[in-house]
């Protein structure tokens, strides 16, 4: 049985197509997914992300516990800032990619993916046992609503006195939005500017309605999982289970920069990651743009002269580029003459560096 978010009735009233995602009943689309995608690129979209997990660490050694548990140097974060990082196993395989917010001197919030947050919470509790810290999974207490797009700041500014203009990317601050207590974070998963709003479950519905009303003059539309996936794909952002898995290290995914070997002390997976950090990659994550109209999808083989040289991890039509695109792991050195085997047809592809899309700043 899929778990509903606090906004289920809202989604149904808007005519959303609901689907199971990681055990949650989530809006796939409200109407046209291309219209939702284009609204985010041109104006703004409103997303329900309440399936994400929120795990809190509190205590004088919270930062040190996170330094040991994760690959990043989280104790170096100043209050009010956030960082993208990962949790890996002893072999260096990625268990999840995360955003960690430092809320205070002795308080952090770890945001995990919906499919992994219970596993991440349990791992954090186990890894923090030697530290003076309390680990609490508060995922059931929070809804998460995102306003994403070039007009997101204008829309949100009509509902809050918080200093949005001064809020940097990957930073957060507590504030009132429509009179409700919210953690306002300048983060997102679309390649656009925007905000993610962590709010108590009971305030989710009135906050959603206030944002919809405030955004209507600016072209804001509710947006579902389908457009969120095409937006993050254009922005070259990895999805756990596609570009990231326990069989891949951060270096395999081209994200070795998140591993901080220069932080003090040991961390889980350090030895395994040190052993491979200088190895030339056997495969690398690349972008593929189709020359034709057929869409490469997850799991399709990438070929060169008929031989398999890789595999598509994510693929979709790109509204912004007007052509099908994909991310794929491809053998190092195989850069020209690539195709994707789409149901027996070798469809030619151009290899490009990620991301496919960068917003104008």
E-strand stretches of 291-352: 301-304, 307-317, 324-331, 338-342, 345-352
Residue among 280, 278, 279, 298 nearest 288 (CA): 298
| pLDDT tens per residue across span 95-149 | 999 999 999 999 999 999 999 999 999 999 999 999 999 999 999 999 999 999 9
What's the CA gap between 56 and 136, in Å, rounded? 5
- The answer to whether the Cα torsion of 112, 118, 124, 125 is positive or negative is positive
Report percent pLDDT > 90 for the chain: 98
ω into 324 cis (within 30 of 0): no
Contacts of 344 (CB under 8 A, 6+ apart): none
pLDDT at residue 361 in the model: 77
Backbone angles phi, psi at 219, to 5 degrees: 90, 15
Residue among 96, 103, 89 nearest 57 (CA): 103
Q: What is the DSSP string of 130-155?
A: TSS-EEEE-GGGEEEEEEESTTHHHH
Report percent pLDDT > 70 for the chain: 100
| pLDDT tens per residue across span 307-358 | 999 999 999 999 999 999 999 999 999 989 999 999 999 999 999 999 999 9
Asked if residues 70 and 100 have their Cβ atoms less than 8 Å apart, the reply is yes
pLDDT at residue 132 in the model: 98
Give whole-number Cα distances, 112 to 4, 120, 124, 149, 205, in Å. Answer: 18, 7, 11, 23, 23
What's the CA gap between 212 and 206, in Å, rounded? 10
Q: b/e per residue, 228-265, with b = 16+ CB within 10 A? A: bbbbbbbbbbbbbebbbeeebbbbbbbbbebbbeebee
Residue among 172, 228, 164, 233 nearest 198 (CA): 172
What's the CA gap between 147 and 207, in Å, rounded? 12
pLDDT at residue 348 in the model: 98
Give whole-number Cα distances, 293 to 107, 301, 318, 349, in Å. Answer: 49, 17, 11, 11
Q: Domains (ranges, CATH) in the chain?
A: 3-49+141-234 (3.30.1360.120), 280-361 (2.40.30.110)
pLDDT at residue 1 in the model: 84
Considering only the C-alpha atoms of the chain, give the largest distance between any 2 of them, rounded to a whole number of Å.
61
Q: b/e per residue, 266-284, with b = 16+ CB within 10 A? A: ebbbbebbeeeeeeebebb
> Where would I find the H helices in 161-224?
204-215
pLDDT at residue 15 in the model: 98
What's the CA gap between 256 and 83, in Å, rounded? 14
Residue among 280, 281, 279, 340 nearest 310 (CA): 340
pLDDT at residue 360 in the model: 86
Q: Label the pairing between strands 3-4 and 24-29.
A: parallel
CA atoms within 13 A on the CB side of 149: 27
């Amino acid at each position: 049985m899929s778990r509903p978010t606090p906004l289920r009735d809202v989604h149904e009233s808007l005519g959303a197509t609901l689907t199971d995602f990681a055990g949650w009943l989530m809006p796939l689309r409200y109407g046209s997914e291309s219209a939702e995608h284009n609204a985010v690129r041109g104006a703004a979209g409103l997303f329900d992300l309440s399936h994400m997990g929120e795990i809190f660490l509190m205590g004088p050694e919270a930062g040190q516990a996170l330094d040991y548990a994760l690959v990043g140097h989280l104790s170096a974060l100043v209050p009010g800032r956030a960082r993208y990082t990962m949790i890996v196993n002893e072999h260096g395989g990625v268990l999840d990619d995360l955003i960690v917010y430092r809320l205070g001197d002795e308080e952090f919030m770890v945001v995990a993916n919906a499919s992994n947050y219970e596993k991440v919470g349990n791992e954090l509790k186990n890894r923090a046992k030697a530290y003076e810290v309390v680990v609490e999974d508060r995922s059931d207490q929070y809804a998460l609503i995102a306003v994403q797009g070039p007009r997101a700041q204008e829309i949100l500014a009509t509902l809050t006195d918080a200093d949005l203009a001064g809020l940097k990317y990957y930073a957060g601050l507590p504030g009132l939005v429509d009179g409700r207590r919210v953690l306002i974070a300048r983060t997102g998963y679309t390649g656009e500017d925007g905000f993610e709003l962590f709010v108590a479950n009971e305030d989710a519905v009135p906050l959603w309605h206030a944002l919809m009303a405030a955004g209507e003059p600016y072209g804001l539309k509710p947006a579902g999982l389908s457009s969120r996936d095409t937006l993050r794909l254009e922005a070259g952002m990895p999805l756990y289970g596609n570009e990231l898995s326990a069989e891949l290290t951060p270096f395999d995914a081209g994200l070795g920069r998140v591993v901080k070997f220069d932080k003090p002390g040991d961390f889980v997976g350090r030895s395994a990651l040190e052993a491979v950090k200088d190895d030339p990659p056997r495969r690398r994550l690349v972008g593929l743009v189709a020359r034709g109209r057929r869409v490469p999808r997850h799991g399709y083989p990438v070929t060169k002269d008929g031989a398999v040289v890789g595999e598509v991890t994510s693929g979709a039509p790109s509204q912004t580029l007007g052509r099908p695109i994909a991310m794929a792991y491809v053998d190092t050195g195989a850069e020209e003459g690539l195709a994707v085997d789409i149901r027996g047809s070798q469809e030619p592809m151009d290899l490009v560096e990620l991301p496919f899309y960068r917003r104008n700043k």
